[in-house]
Structure 1
Amino acid sequence: MSHTEAAFETRGNGSETDEITRDQTFTMLSNRRRRWVIHYLKRRDGGPVSLRTLVNTISAWEHGVEVEKLSWKQRKRVYTALRQSHLPKLDDAGVVEYDSNRGEIVLTEEAEKLQLYLEYVPERDIPWHQYYLGLATIATALTLVTWLSLPPVSELSGLALSSIITAMIVVSAITHVYHARNSRLGSAEEPPR
């Protein structure tokens, strides 16, 4: 039995399961360094990554400098946190396979399931469900005002009204797809904050 399989068996309320719970997911993703580990590994397309490479990359992201400009202390802080805390937690959850003896980390297929919980809402942004509720309200109001023949839309034909509403939905959908792709771990150059 692999280390990942053993972690699955001891997860949750003691019953056997092969899925990460919602609480475990949010706990894992609550730490920026763990998000960065997942982000970096997803960008590597499944191959093993050395702990040294991971430490250098995350240290550079954290301090906003190039790897060559990192001090020994900056690297050491990240190394210690990754080796003693973050990588073992991700390994226990089955998101990564961390071989501490070889200093190698590999992303598991279980990490793909984390994306379900990652439609995050950046500061000064509204959740997409609220956006679409507002869009539906605007479309309903336009339809009602046109039906009641109230100015300024009283001159709109049914075709014009449906074209406006369709355009609003298409533009919103394209924007949503673009936003969702950029918020996926491993899809952008910049790490998630």
Structure 2
Amino acid sequence: MNFGKSTSWGHLSEEQVVGLLRHEHRRAIVTYLDQETTDCASFDDLVEYLVSSGPKREATLAERREQVAIGLLHNHLPRLADAGVLEYDQRSETVRYWADSRLESMLETINNAK
């Protein structure tokens, strides 16, 4: 089975892309996975990336990790998976990225505007 990037154009509507990229964690997830050469990341690596790249809040590091992990499991990964952008395997705790050109293009526009 080939798990390499299968970039498509038009897979997602503009409305879907805007909805997916509305939250900073989903933008960070797509950025992280798009930059990885294997198109695959462990759940723990994703949590660490989001904690380290996100704003520092009043919570302890352990609390931030827990908050990010819960958000990933119950919100962000399911939304991205439902849109066909990624696949989360709970058994192996790995995330596989399925690229979408429209999503990446809009993300680049958002990142360049900052």
Q: What band does the TM-score fall into relative to the shorter chain?
A: 0.7 to 0.9
CA contact (8 A) 2:17 2:102 kept: no
User: What pairs with 1:15-30 in structure 2 (closer than 5 Å)?
Assistant: 19-30=11-22
Which residue number corresponds to residue 96 of structure 1? Answer: 86
- Find the aligned partners of 2:95 and 2:13 in 1 and give their Cα distance: 22
RMSD over aligned CA atoms reads 2.3
TM-score under structure 1 length normalisation? 0.48
- How many residue pairs are counted as aligned between the two chains? 102
Percent identity at matched positions?
26
Structure 1 regions of 5+ residues with no counterpart? Answer: 1-17, 65-69, 121-181, 184-191
Residue 42 of structure 1, CA deviation:
1.0
Tell me which of 104, 107, 110 is aligned to 1:115.
104
Which residue number corresponds to residue 61 of structure 2? Answer: 71
The secondary structure found in structure 1 opposite 2:54 is helix
Structure 2 regions of 5+ residues with no counterpart? Answer: 1-9
- Find the aligned partners of 2:83 and 2:44 in 1 and give their Cα distance: 22
Which residue number corresponds to residue 41 of structure 1? Answer: 33
Amino acid at match of 1:47: D
- List structure 1 runs of 4+ shifted beyond 3 angstroms: none
User: What pairs with 1:80-159 in structure 2 (closer than 5 Å)?
Assistant: 80-110=70-100, 112-118=101-107, 119-120=109-110
The structure that is strand-richer by fraction is: 2
- Find the aligned partners of 1:39 and 1:47 in 2 and give their Cα distance: 11
Tell me which of 23, 30, 33 is aligned to 1:31.
23
Structure number with the bigger relative contact order (C-alpha 8 A, sep ≥ 6) is 2
The secondary structure found in structure 1 opposite 2:52 is helix
- Find the aligned partners of 1:116 and 1:71 in 2 and give their Cα distance: 33
- Find the aligned partners of 1:33 and 1:43 in 2 and give their Cα distance: 15
CA contact (8 A) 2:34 2:99 kept: no
Q: Rg: which structure is higher?
A: 1
TM-score under structure 2 length normalisation? 0.77
